[in-house]
């Protein structure tokens, strides 16, 4: 399978485009550790990915290091 780049590609089509083992969801670094910000979108993202992934795919939620406030996102 050759890799393709499509700036208008949806997450759903990207999930189906390749044979993924894991699908990782991660909060943007500039909001790292801010529970209320991730909980606004994480339940929706998990539901969306579950609906569009294959049965063999596993979902991972990865943690990242927070950046100092002076660092751009």
pLDDT digits (tens, 9 = 90+) for 33-62: 777 878 888 899 999 999 999 889 999 988
pLDDT level of residue 8 (50, 70, 90 thresholds):
confident
Asked if the model's pLDDT at residue 1 lies above 60, the reply is no
Q: Provide long-range contacts, Cβ within 8 A and 24+ apart, for 41-47.
A: none
**Whole-structure pTM value:** 0.70
* CA–CA distance, 66 with 45 (Å, rounded to integer): 21
Q: For the chain, give the mean pLDDT.
A: 81
List of residues 6+ apart from 65 with CB closer than 8 A: 29, 32
* CA–CA distance, 67 with 73 (Å, rounded to integer): 8
- In 3D space, the residue among 44, 46, 50, 47 whose CA is nearest the CA of residue 61 turns out to be 46
């Amino acid at each position: 399978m050759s890799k393709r780049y499509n700036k208008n590609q949806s997450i759903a089509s990207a999930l189906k485009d390749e044979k993924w083992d894991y699908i990782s969801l991660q909060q943007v670094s500039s909001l790292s550790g801010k529970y209320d910000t991730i909980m606004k979108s994480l339940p929706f993202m998990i539901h969306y990915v579950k609906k569009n992934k294959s049965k063999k795919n596993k979902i991972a939620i990865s943690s990242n290091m927070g950046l100092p406030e002076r660092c751009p996102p």
